[in-house]
Chain A
Amino acid sequence: MRRAVAVAVVFLTGCGAPEDPAKQADDVHSVAAEGALLAHEASEDSLDAFTTEHAKALRKLLGQVRPAIEDAELARRADGVDAALAALADHPGDRRRAAVLERRLEELAG
């Protein structure tokens, strides 16, 4: 059922992993920049559940783009963003680590 709905939606809208490299770069940048914002808030005292769950949601979003990326540099950046978000999700209450991850994600956002 889930697959049928997804197939129907993809058929109807043409959605799926974007194949345009410029769109892929925009998507990776968007997730990295949002991750940096999330990490910034975590470094200043946010809700742990929110930090964890939103970081996971951002990783899921990135996971939809990542398989279609062929450019090596962009793929490296995407993997870096994913690793930083995973660390943020695993340690939502560690403010010092969050500040480090914020800077890392800002670098990856470019």
Chain B
Amino acid sequence: MKSVFSIALGILAAIGGFVDIGDIIFNVAAGATFGYQLLWAVVVGVGGIITYAEMCGRVAAVSGSAVFDAVRERLGFGVGLIALVAAELVNLLTIAAEIGGIAIVLQLLSGLPYRVLLVLAVLALGLVLWLMPFEWIERVFGYCGLALLVFAVAAIKLHPDWNAVAHGFVPSTGTGNGWVYAYFVVGLVGAAMIPYEVYFYSSGAVEEQWTAKDLGVNRANVLVGYSLGGILSFALMISAGALLLPQGIQGELLGTVALVAEAPLGQIGLILALVGALAAISGAAIDSSFSGAYSIAQFFGWEWGKYRHNSGAPRFTLAWMVMLVLGFLIVVTGVDPIMVTELSVIFSVVALPLTYVPILLVANDRAYMGRYANGRFANLAGGFYLLVVFVIAVAAVPLLLLSNMGQG
């Protein structure tokens, strides 16, 4: 039983980080637009996040340092500060999008006014962050998010063309609008490798006081958690490809996502989809709020960590509160959370190299990591994904403009 709980960090990071509002929207929109053609891009993204989450979990376990310690140490104060500002801006957009997403899901469940639900959402998140121990946050949101597995059942019940699904795992240039296709590739890979996931994951490893003895748990976490996240992404895209594409439905709303589960499974499918989405998006809001606070505290050398209790790390506590309030203030202006989601993913892609370069450098440093430094395979995978990260970072904003934000 203990081993089941010990992989909760990976499941939370996967459900609440990998499968957040950005992934839900991008995967369903990709399936509705291109069917199964972009499944390979999810594989690329999952491989990338597994590679780098394993590295930063290992660094945290061996050295007791989280990602932003490494960023500050390896990039220096000036470049590190740029990385911090970029990370915090993207975090803010992400938190705003997640709070908006929570309110939309609650509205679909209750019919209450959106703005009232925004207030309730941010108050509930604040209470959870204040009161709930770290391990219970992981368990409650991670395991409730497993309700999203309803999309795996939906995908099977929708009887997709499995031959076409299999072809989707082979990289291709795609059919249709090339700019839109490339935009979705960048969005899917970027959503999978969004930086706050590794900030949260490595800080969580320090929170759980991992040591070198926990490297097996680290591997199990990233493999089980992120693979599960990948399966959920496949399920969302396949379901959308099977149901929405043939009917010419574009799939731009969170309600559309729930409808994808309701069509083959009825009311129970709808409820599970909405509950799963609520848990996943709430988990992501918590991840990103904590990530913002972790990053700033680690960069400036403040006391940090949920395990210190709120009064034991007052500046850290204040930081996540400020992040939450600022996120709320952005979304309460009435800006569309789905649009904010897409922008946060695309802008986070631009900042990816600032996150992943220092991780690779530290994980390679034998003086720092001793015998736990990267081996040949980790370096090969890390180098390949660094190349991917640089390419999509350069391409992200031009593709946003050329594809008219994926609208063609």
A interface with B by C-beta (< 8 Å) = 1-2, 5-6, 9, 12-15, 18, 23, 26-27, 29-30, 33-34, 37-38, 41, 44-50, 52-54, 57-58, 61, 109
Is B262 in contact with A15, judged by CB distance below 8 angstroms? no
**Interface contact A46-B262, CB-CB below 8 Å:** yes
Say yes or no for B270: interface residue by CB 8 A criterion. Answer: yes
Is B73 among interface residues, defined by CB-CB distance under 8 A? Answer: no
Interface of chain A: mostly helix, strand, loop or mixed: helix
A110–B171 Cα gap in the complex (Å)? Answer: 34
Whether B334 lies near A46 (C-beta < 8 A) is no
| Interface residue ranges, B against A (CB under 8 Å) | 107-111, 247-250, 252-253, 255-256, 258-259, 262-263, 266-267, 270-271, 274, 330, 333-335, 339, 343, 400-401, 404-405, 407-408
Chain B, interface SS category: helix
A36, chain B: closest CB distance, angstroms: 8
Q: Which of A1, A23, A50, A53 contacts B408 (CB 8 A)?
A: A23
CA distance A5 to B339 in the complex (A): 11
What are the residues of chain B within 8 A of A30 when measuring CB–CB? 248-250
Choose among A33, A41, A46, A53 the residue that contacts B249 (Cβ–Cβ < 8 A). Answer: A33
**Residues in chain A near residue B343, CB distance under 8 A:** 9
Residues of B within 8 A of A53 (CB): 107-108, 111, 255
CB-CB under 8 A from B108, the residues of chain A are 47, 49-50, 53-54
A-B contact pairs, 9 of them (CB 8 A): A5-B335, A12-B401, A18-B407, A41-B259, A41-B266, A47-B108, A49-B108, A50-B255, A54-B258
From B405, which residue of chain A is reached at the shortest CB distance? A13
> Which residue of A has the minimal Cβ distance to B400?
A13
Q: How many angstroms from the CA of A57 to the CA of B303 in the assembled complex?
A: 44
Q: Which of B259, B334, B400, B401 contacts A34 (CB 8 A)?
A: B259
Residues of B within 8 Å of A2, CB to CB, are 333-335
Given known contacts A2-B334, A41-B259, is B400 in contact with A9 (CB within 8 Å)? no
Q: Do B249 and A49 touch across chains, with their CB atoms under 8 A apart?
A: no
In the complex, the chain A residue whose C-beta lies closest to that of B110 is: A49
Within the complex, the shortest CB–CB distance from B121 to chain A, in Å, comes to 15
Residues of A within 8 A of B270 (CB): 41, 46-47, 50
Instruction: Report Cα–Cα, A107/B247, bound state, in Å.
Output: 13
User: B401 — which chain A residues lie within 8 A by C-beta?
Assistant: 12-14
From A37, A44, A50, name the one whose CB has the most chain B CB atoms within 10 angstroms: A50
Please name the residue on chain A nearest to B397 by beta carbon.
A12
Beyond A13-B400, A13-B405, A53-B107, whether A41 also contacts B262 by CB under 8 A is yes
